[in-house]
């Protein structure tokens, strides 16, 4: 009998909750808790007649550790799934430790207020010492390793697609196909069209912060940082076609660099259309991506939060998005002394996702692995004390579950490489 507390009820959580309800043998009971309880209630009403999973709902402000502790004590879950925002990672981890409950999330910690002087000092030191300047990094959550180990609890970090499945792909390639992996290129292609001039596929604040930041990649044991969007390549994606893609910093590079032995280079590319980039540059130039409060008509507003209010809710893009995503990893390396290259990827159709769970493919490709990560932990397939990213665990049961739960993968030997 397993009971899960799911915090957050946005685009990604909605998919994860649908998928939990399709797997009632594992998820016998779920409690959906979020800042806006009405969203949790609406989802429960939609799902409860279709599933054996028992669903309850609660209100919580997960920025407050004591509220999360009180909620965990009330619900008594076997696992807490944090599918709110990266801002809440540490408060929810603290609450899990206080209550002795395992933890899972889909994105690594970053603070909401990047002007906080205490955080800023640590951040600037890390930028200097490590050589990349993203606002997010694993150091904050890796600092919890010893605490989770001592408590005999597991914390699984970044169980989405990228991060998440991409790391499972790396572990699978390492386990089955290579003696040594030399290079990894992670390619994230969204060939979907929602018909709006500008919208983001997941939380606009998190998304725009990520893509407007300098890019970086790992090479020969250190980070190489480049100006935002300054490395562009073209690639022909299976079932999508030719796309422009740009090198970004991405969180899984940081853990893969530590966990894939002797890897020489790891890069991450994401596709963007010219219209998206032009809109983003314009918004950036006029200050709309700023997280610093400004006075408007006597009221303090945060520009990027105001922008979020204006943009379409990512959760509403489902019915209008057509096309496919294609996300995966290209590996080069050696097996039995011979050079080889393999491309491992998933293709996901926006409209098929919408027919199944009422969401577009970006939420789907993140929500399904969140459910699978939870399933691995609840069924004991992944059961270790400490804080882990997905490449540190046995990839085989997760890969099998991807095929079964809606994200089947494909393999191409000798693919076109990215120069
Ligand atoms: P949304 O903005 O759609 O949803 C966020 C949810 O969290 C909302 O329900 C929101 O409530 C709730 N929330 C926010 N703050 C709090 C709080 N203080 N207390 C309680 N609940 C809160 O985001 P997404 O669903 O798009 O993204 C969810 C997560 O998934 C993010 O961390 C994102 O970075 C990550 N992600 C990971 C990917 C991957 O591949 N690994 C890809 C895409 C996203 P309210 O309704 O009140 O706003």
The pLDDT tens digits of the residues spanning 169-222 come to 999 999 999 999 999 999 999 999 999 999 998 888 888 888 888 999 999 999
Interval between CA 180 and ligand 1 midpoint (Å)? 36
Query: Is 1 a residue whose pLDDT tops 80?
Result: no
Interval between CA 107 and ligand 1 midpoint (Å)? 10
Residue nearest to atom 26 of ligand 1 (CA): 202
| Cβ–Cβ < 8 Å for 194, 207 | no
- What sign has the CA pseudo-torsion 22, 28, 32, 38? positive
Entry pTM:
0.95
Minimum-distance ligand 1 atom for the alpha carbon of 162: 40
| Cβ–Cβ < 8 Å for 77, 101 | yes
Interval between CA 85 and ligand 1 midpoint (Å)? 4
Q: Is the CB of 161 under 6 A from ligand 1?
A: yes
Which residue among 10, 86, 359, 371 is best mutated to probe the pocket of ligand 1, counting the most ligand atoms within 8 A of its Cβ? 10
| Cβ–Cβ < 8 Å for 338, 344 | no
| Cβ–Cβ < 8 Å for 172, 184 | no
User: What's the angle, vertex CA 128, arms to CA 123 and CA 129, rounded to 5?
Assistant: 95
Query: Is 256 a residue whose pLDDT tops 80?
Result: yes
Query: Confidence band (pLDDT; 50, 70, 90) for 71?
Result: very high
């Amino acid at each position: 009998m397993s009971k899960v507390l799911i915090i957050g009820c946005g685009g990604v959580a909605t998919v994860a909750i649908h998928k939990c309800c399709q797997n009632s043998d594992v998820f016998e009971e779920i409690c959906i808790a979020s800042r806006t309880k009405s969203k949790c209630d609406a989802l429960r009403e939609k799902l409860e007649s279709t599933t054996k999973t028992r669903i309850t709902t609660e209100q919580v402000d997960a920025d407050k550790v004591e509220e999360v502790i009180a909620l965990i004590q009330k619900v008594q879950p076997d696992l807490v799934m944090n599918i709110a925002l990266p801002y809440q990672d540490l408060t929810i981890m603290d609450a899990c430790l206080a209550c002795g409950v395992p933890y899972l999330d889909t994105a690594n910690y970053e603070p909401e207020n990047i002007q906080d002087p205490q955080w800023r000092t640590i951040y600037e030191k890390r930028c200097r010492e490590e050589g990349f300047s993203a606002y997010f990094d694993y150091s904050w959550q890796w600092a919890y390793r010893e605490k989770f180990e001592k408590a005999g609890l597991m914390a699984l970090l970044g169980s989405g697609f990228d991060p998440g499945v991409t790391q499972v792909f790396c572990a699978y390639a390492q386990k089955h196909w290579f003696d040594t992996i030399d290079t990894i290129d992670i390619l994230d292609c969204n060939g979907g069209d929602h018909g709006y001039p500008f919208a983001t596929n997941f939380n606009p604040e998190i998304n725009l912060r990520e893509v407007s930041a300098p890019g970086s990649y790992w090479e020969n044991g250190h980070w190489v940082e480049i100006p935002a969007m300054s490395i562009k390549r073209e690639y022909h994606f299976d079932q999508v076609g030719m796309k422009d893609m740009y090198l970004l910093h991405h969180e899984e590079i940081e853990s893969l660099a530590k966990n894939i032995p002797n890897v020489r280079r790891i890069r991450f590319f994401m596709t963007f259309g010219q219209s998206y980039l032009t809109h983003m540059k314009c918004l950036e130039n006029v200050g709309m991506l700023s997280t610093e409060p400004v006075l408007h008509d006597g009221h303090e507003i945060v520009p990027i939060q105001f922008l979020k209010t204006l943009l379409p809710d990512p959760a509403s893009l489902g019915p209008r998005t057509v096309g496919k995503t294609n996300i995966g990893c290209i590996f080069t390396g050696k097996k039995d002394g011979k050079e080889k290259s393999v491309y491992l990827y998933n293709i996901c159709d926006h409209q098929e996702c919408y027919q199944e769970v009422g969401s577009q493919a970006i939420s789907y490709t993140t929500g399904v692995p969140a459910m699978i990560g939870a399933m691995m932990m609840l069924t004991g397939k992944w059961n270790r004390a400490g804080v882990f990213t997905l490449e540190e665990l046995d990839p085989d049961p997760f890969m099998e579950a991807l095929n079964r739960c809606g994200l089947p993968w494909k393999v191409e030997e000798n693919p076109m490489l990215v120069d």
